[in-house]
Amino acid sequence: MKRRSLLAAGLGGAAALGWPRPGRSQSKPFDGMVLHLASVNDQYSPGLKALSARFKQETGITVLVDILGYGELQTKITTDYVGHTKGYDLATTDNVWAPQFAEAGYTVPLNDWMKRDAEAMKLDDIYPVLFTALGNYKGKQVAFPLAGYANVLAYRKDLYATARLQPPQTMQDLVANAYKLTDKSRNQYGWVANGQKGAACAQDWMQYLAEIGGVLVAKDQPTLDAPLNIQSLQTYKDLFQKAAPPGAVNWDWDGREASFRSGLAANMQTWSVGALGYFDPAQSKVTDSAALMVTPTAAGMKPRYGIGGWGIAINADIEDQRKQAAWTYIKWITSPEIHIALNQLNACSFLRRSELQDASLNRKYPFLPVIDESFTHGDADFRPRVPQYPEIQDILGTAVNSALVGAMTPAAALAAAQTQALRYF
């Protein structure tokens, strides 16, 4: 009796600690295991939490989703990896972190498992650019694509119609339209972008730069002050001064999105993940007049649509059995059926061709053909995928903002940025 009690207590303790129970069925080899997932606080994260119960029902694995802010997530998982504390088994991973994680060996390379399970996972249904963009560095897949976002142009159909303008086919059209659609006397502006110092303005300018053919890193060296980059920053600054709402130089994503949803701006390049909000009357005043299209590129240039989003990675420190369970979760959450279910929960984060053809999702998201076109011709490298990316982004965050507010000329700002960037290469 005493021995049986001890055994029961031991098994109970083991289950509580996340170890699989002995005698588990073959269909549920990880029954009783508890996995910890750190997720960024983005559109898809409530869906991850909501679907955990279904995953437990099907596999016996409990996934505890910890939803964190961007900076908090980065700090927590990095310190977890560095300290080998095994706090998280899985973590959502920003595409720009992949090079650093790959070099440091902090997350499990998934290439072999992907090769083994390719057919079962229907990997050829996932847009190839998402593998590159969301977790691949020099051939090593250190995160699996979880949530793909396309950079798109959100614009106002009504303002274009009133001004008898066609939606822009090139970047030159977009710039010209932005000026034509600006009427400050009516508090109407032709264009808006992030202007706030830091990641906000750096990321938006990088997208703009990519669309006119600019390059920030070539042959493993920074080229921040290349003539085309300076020219593009000058045009960007002019747009801010003549066609953007007052205060845009201090806006990050929230301010920029709010300005479009409130009807202040006629054009905005943005991530597709927030697009559902434009058509929601509770958040938007432009539900009937907002539209999305692929981002234009400079005349004569091949389409170059920016791709971003999140991958999901497995902590390299955890035990093999937990890695297997974590891989089971990744396969499940990115499977065609479950990823559609995730998007039914407003994730607005896409991966698969079949998903973008799904009738129910097309009813919910009227802009899926734009995402399909963007993913098909997507560019994973509009933000340089190099280990020095965080430093480059920070340096550009100051340089671009300095130019926008007139503290420095675009040439001087980018020259200073280039000098700083060289220290990291």
Partner 1 sequence: MAAPAIIHVTIFAVYPILRGAGFSLFRMNLMQPWLHRFVGLRNYTDALSDPAIRHSLAVTLMFTASCVAMELALGLCLALLLWTDNRFNRVATILMLVPITVTPIVVGLIFRALLDPSFGLIGYWLTWAHLAPPQGLLGDTHTALMTMMAVDVWEWAPLAALILLAGLKSLPADSLDAAAIDGAGPVAKLGRIILPMMLPSIFLVLVLRVTDVFRTYDIVFAATGGGPGDSTNLLMLDAVKQGLQFFDIGYGSAISILMTLAIAILAGVIILALRGLDRRYNTL
DSSP 51-77: HHHHHHHHHS-EEEEEEE-HHHHHHHH
State which residue, 90 or 404, has the beta carbon closest to partner 1.
404
State which residue, 265 or 342, has the beta carbon closest to partner 1.
265
8 A C-beta contact, residue 370 and residue 293: yes
State which residue, 247 or 366, has the beta carbon closest to partner 1.
247
State which residue, 17 or 82, has the beta carbon closest to partner 1.
82
Least distance CB 2 / partner 1 (angstroms):
43
CA separation for the pair 214, 228 (Å, rounded): 6
Least distance CB 395 / partner 1 (angstroms):
9
8 A C-beta contact, residue 212 and residue 221: no
What's the CA angle centered on 397, arms 223 and 203, to 5 degrees? 80
Instruction: Check residue 73 and give left, alpha or beta (phi > 0: left; psi -120 to 50: alpha).
Output: alpha
Least distance CB 65 / partner 1 (angstroms):
23
State which residue, 61 or 408, has the beta carbon closest to partner 1.
408
State which residue, 66 or 72, has the beta carbon closest to partner 1.
72
Measure Cα distances from 407 to 370, 395, 401, 402, 413 in Å. Answer: 38, 15, 8, 5, 9
Q: Hey, what are 128's tokens?
A: 């190839």
DSSP H helix total and E strand total for the chain: 19, 12
CA separation for the pair 309, 243 (Å, rounded): 29
Q: Hey, what are 91's tokens?
A: 């973590």
Residue 342: how many other CB atoms lie within 10 Å? 25
Radius of gyration of the chain measured on its C-alpha atoms: 23
State which residue, 113 or 389, has the beta carbon closest to partner 1.
389
Pairing of strands 140-141, 305-314: unpaired
Residue 252: how many other CB atoms lie within 10 Å? 17
Least distance CB 196 / partner 1 (angstroms):
6
Residues in touch with partner 1 (CB under 8 A): 71, 74-75, 78-79, 82, 100, 103-104, 195-198, 200, 245-250, 252, 255, 258-259, 262, 264, 387, 390-391, 394, 398, 401-402, 404-408, 420
Least distance CB 220 / partner 1 (angstroms):
16
Least distance CB 400 / partner 1 (angstroms):
10
State which residue, 103 or 173, has the beta carbon closest to partner 1.
103
CA separation for the pair 284, 54 (Å, rounded): 33
8 A C-beta contact, residue 39 and residue 92: yes
End-to-end CA distance of the chain: give it in Å, rounded.
Answer: 67
Least distance CB 122 / partner 1 (angstroms):
34
State which residue, 109 or 397, has the beta carbon closest to partner 1.
397
CA separation for the pair 354, 337 (Å, rounded): 10
CA separation for the pair 308, 360 (Å, rounded): 24
Least distance CB 405 / partner 1 (angstroms):
4
Least distance CB 425 / partner 1 (angstroms):
13
